[in-house]
């Protein structure tokens, strides 16, 4: 009993640097051991996957990647998974970003996935994919893109006129897209795509968002958006669905979402343990106080 | 006059924007206004940068408290802008290797790319990563069932925390499929899609009504706070 009291007393005075150390270990070990855990796709993630899967090959998919390095760890894996899916389905991909700091990440995705992993497939710039680059104007840019691409941005990221790109010949605006798959970390982002593009023009819209933003987006599902991929867990679920549908192709590619769920799982476990210990301390202190 | 003209401009543009939703004839005006917005926004960005620069130069000049941070801000602004505008270190475009400035300012290997990759990205990513440590510490110290409301919040948080990992599925894997609400993932879905959605809808409708009321006050000239005065 005295030992227990001593432990509780020492926990009451616990220096927060021990908690920081515990969090570091909880995250570091899964990162180093590369341990993974099984994921089951939820209805919202599956809805996005099924929509992209059900589109006929060659469909037009607009891919706004509206996030910066601060959210890359959370949104990067889902962006990768969605791009891979579109490339596997041979959809025509129209990339852009509403975030000035998102452009290098967009370019890196293009280099690593479209021009790297799918190099053998021979996807051609201007025919199978295009980088429209950074489109300034935030919410107004979305509205302009929904009515006329050329008013929002007359050139692609390399400065080539959109009229000279084969895949832009039949495309006037986002209304010509078969799907908008917006991945966003905040403003401007998915909400603007819902309000100014998807709803007024009845364009199917899929969303990929951070864990913090997700609760605000639930009211739009399923009437305004086809589905929702949420944070790393959503990315891991998407990768699971992708691996099930394309086992041969995905076996040679990394699954960063599934990998990152390991540290997240252990961090969540630590948080739960800390909350429980904190409440036990609260309970014992309360009783002590009443005595 | 300094206030009347901006007020009139605001009202006219606002009325056009609203009318275009209901009157098709007004749509071309709305399109034109949106194009102008992009130009005005670009000018505003330059004005904003100039204002930022002046503000911090003044702080440095007067040696105000924390002027060192102002010096860092000014240095970052000047260096980033100069490197980007002059495309310092940026390799030329492969199609035009003879033209030194033909490449993108953000081309791999260039100065702006280097600043983005080795300065901005690690700083921003580190800031977000630190949250995990502070949230863990806060969870231990502050997340306690002190009253009924706190208990509700705590219970919800634990279900959502577990529901966001494979542990939640594993812990209730023995529950028959006919009873999804008896599983942690099922409870997680219930919390997010019913209670959360209901709350979010209420907030969204409230915000929308507030925005409509404020917009109307601005269009009618009753709210002039955006002009920097009363």
Residues B94, B80, single domain; the answer is no
Which pLDDT tens digit goes with each residue over A176-218? 999 999 999 999 999 999 999 999 999 999 999 999 999 999 9
A28 sits in which H/E element: helix A16-33
Q: Give the least confident one: A105-114, A196-205, A279-288, B136-145.
A: A279-288
B157-166 mean pLDDT: 87
Asked whether residue B137 is domain-assigned, the answer is no
Q: Give the least confident one: A25-29, A52-56, B119-123, B138-142.
A: B138-142
Q: Which residues from B are below 8 Å from A152, CB to CB?
A: 38
What's residue A287's pLDDT?
61
Residues B20, B69, single domain; the answer is yes
Please choose, from the candidates A57, A45, A44, A122, the residue with its C-alpha nearest in 3D space to the C-alpha of residue A86. A57
Domain hosting residue B121, numbered range: 90-131
Q: Do A278 and B106 touch (CB under 8 A)?
A: no
What's residue A97's pLDDT?
96
Asked whether residue B45 is domain-assigned, the answer is yes
Residues B2, B79, single domain; the answer is yes
For residue A282, give the chain B residue with the closest CA: B144
Q: Where are the alpha helices (DSSP H) in chain B?
A: 4-22, 27-61, 67-85, 111-115, 121-142, 148-163, 166-171, 184-190, 197-219
Which pLDDT tens digit goes with each residue over A244-282? 999 998 888 889 999 999 999 999 999 999 999 999 998
What's residue B229's pLDDT?
59
What's residue A61's pLDDT?
98
Q: Which residues from A are below 8 Å from B120, CB to CB?
A: 69, 101
Residues B123, B64, single domain; the answer is no
Residues B81, B147, single domain; the answer is no
User: Cα separation of B2 and A157, whole Å?
Assistant: 40
Please choose, from the candidates A50, A53, A75, the residue with its C-alpha nearest in 3D space to the C-alpha of residue A64. A75
What's residue A5's pLDDT?
83
- pLDDT for A291 beyond 60: no
What's residue B41's pLDDT?
86
What's residue B177's pLDDT?
83
* DSSP symbol at B221: T
Instruction: Give all strands of the β-sheet with A60-66 in edge-to-edge order.
Output: A129-134, A92-97, A60-66, A179-184, A205-209, A227-230
For residue B168, give the chain A residue with the closest CA: A265
Q: Do B34 and A151 touch (CB under 8 A)?
A: yes
For residue B93, give the chain A residue with the closest CA: A158
CA distance B33 to chain A (A): 10
Residues B112, B76, single domain; the answer is no
A61-87 mean pLDDT: 96
Q: Which residues from A are below 8 Å from B197, CB to CB?
A: 218-219
Q: Do B128 and A274 touch (CB under 8 A)?
A: no
| Inter-residue contact A43 to B100 (CB < 8 Å) | no
- pLDDT for A288 beyond 60: no
- pLDDT for A1 beyond 90: no
Q: Do A233 and B165 touch (CB under 8 A)?
A: yes
Q: Where are the alpha helices (DSSP H) in A36-117?
A: 43-54, 69-88, 103-109
For residue B153, give the chain A residue with the closest CA: A275
Asked whether residue B206 is domain-assigned, the answer is yes
Residues B228, B154, single domain; the answer is yes
| Inter-residue contact A51 to A206 (CB < 8 Å) | yes
Give the Cβ contact number of residue A1 at 10 Å: 5
Q: Which residues from B are below 8 Å from A68, CB to CB?
A: 124
Which pLDDT tens digit goes with each residue over B176-204? 888 888 899 889 989 998 999 999 999 99
Confidence of residue B170 (pLDDT cuts 50, 70, 90): confident
Q: Which residues from B are below 8 Å from A70, CB to CB?
A: 124-125, 127-128
Q: Which residues from B are below 8 Å from A148, CB to CB?
A: 31
The larger pLDDT score, comparing residue A288 to residue A141, is at A141
Q: Do A219 and B164 touch (CB under 8 A)?
A: no
Asked whether residue B94 is domain-assigned, the answer is yes
Q: Do B34 and A144 touch (CB under 8 A)?
A: yes
What's residue B60's pLDDT?
96
The larger pLDDT score, comparing residue B226 to residue A232, is at A232
Domain count, chain B: 3
Give the percent of chain A with pLDDT over 70: 98
CA distance B181 to chain A (A): 15
DSSP characters over B168-181: HHHHTTTS-TT-GG
Residues B109, B150, single domain; the answer is no
Q: Give the least confident one: A116-120, A154-158, B161-165.
A: B161-165
Q: What value of ipTM does the predicted structure carry?
A: 0.84
């Amino acid at each position: 009993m005295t030992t227990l009291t001593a432990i509780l007393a020492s926990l009451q005075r616990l220096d927060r640097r021990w908690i920081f150390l515990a969090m570091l270990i909880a995250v570091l070990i899964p990162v180093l051991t590369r341990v993974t855990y099984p994921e089951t796709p939820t209805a919202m993630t599956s809805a996005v996957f099924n929509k992209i899967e059900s589109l006929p090959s060659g469909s037009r998919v607009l891919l706004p990647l509206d996030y910066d390095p601060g959210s890359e760890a959370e949104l990067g894996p889902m962006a990768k998974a969605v791009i891979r899916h579109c490339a596997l389905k041979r959809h025509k991909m129209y990339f852009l970003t509403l975030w000035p700091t998102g452009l290098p990440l967009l370019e890196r995705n293009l280099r690593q996935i479209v021009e790297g992993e799918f190099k053998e497939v021979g996807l051609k710039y201007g025919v199978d994919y295009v980088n429209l680059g950074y489109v300034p104007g935030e919410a107004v840019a979305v509205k302009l893109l929904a009515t006329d691409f050329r008013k929002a941005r007359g050139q692609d990221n390399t400065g080539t006129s959109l009229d000279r790109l084969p895949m832009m010949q039949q495309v006037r605006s986002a209304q010509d897209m078969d799907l908008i798959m917006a991945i966003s970390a905040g403003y401007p982002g998915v909400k603007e795509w819902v309000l100014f593009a998807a709803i007024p023009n009845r364009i199917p819209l899929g969303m990929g968002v951070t864990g913090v933003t997700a609760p605000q987006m639930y009211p739009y599902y399923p009437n305004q958006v086809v589905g929702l991929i949420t944070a790393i867990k959503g990315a891991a679920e998407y990768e699971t669905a992708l691996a099930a549908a394309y086992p041969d192709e995905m076996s040679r590619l990394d699954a960063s979402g599934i990998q990152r769920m390991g540290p997240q799982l252990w961090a969540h476990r630590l948080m739960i343990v800390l909350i429980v210990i904190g409440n036990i301390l609260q309970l014992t202190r309360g009783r002590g106080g009443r005595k | 006059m300094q206030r009347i003209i901006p007020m009139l401009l605001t009202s006219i543009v606002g009325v056009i924007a609203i009318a275009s939703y209901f009157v098709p004839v007004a749509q071309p005006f709305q399109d034109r206004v949106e194009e102008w917005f992009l130009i005005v926004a670009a000018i505003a960005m330059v004005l904003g940068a100039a204002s930022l620069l002046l503000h911090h130069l003044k702080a440095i000049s007067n040696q105000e408290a924390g002027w060192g941070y102002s010096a860092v801000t000014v240095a970052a602004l000047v260096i980033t802008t100069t490197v980007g505008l002059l495309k310092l270190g940026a390799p030329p475009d492969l199609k035009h290797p003879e033209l030194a400035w033909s490449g993108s300012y953000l081309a791999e290997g260039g100065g702006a790319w280097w600043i983005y990759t080795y300065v901005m990205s690690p700083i921003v990513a580190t800031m977000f990563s630190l949250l995990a440590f502070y949230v863990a510490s806060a969870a231990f110290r502050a997340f306690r069932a002190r009253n009924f409301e706190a208990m509700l919040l705590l219970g919800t948080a634990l279900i959502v925390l577990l529901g966001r990992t494979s542990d939640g599925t594993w812990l209730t894997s023995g529950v028959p499929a006919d009873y999804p609400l008896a599983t942690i993932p099922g409870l997680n879905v219930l919390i997010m899609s019913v209670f959360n959605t209901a709350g979010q809808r209420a907030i969204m409708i409230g915000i929308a009504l507030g925005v409509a009321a404020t917009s109307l006050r601005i269009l009618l000239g009753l709210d002039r706070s955006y002009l920097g005065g009363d």
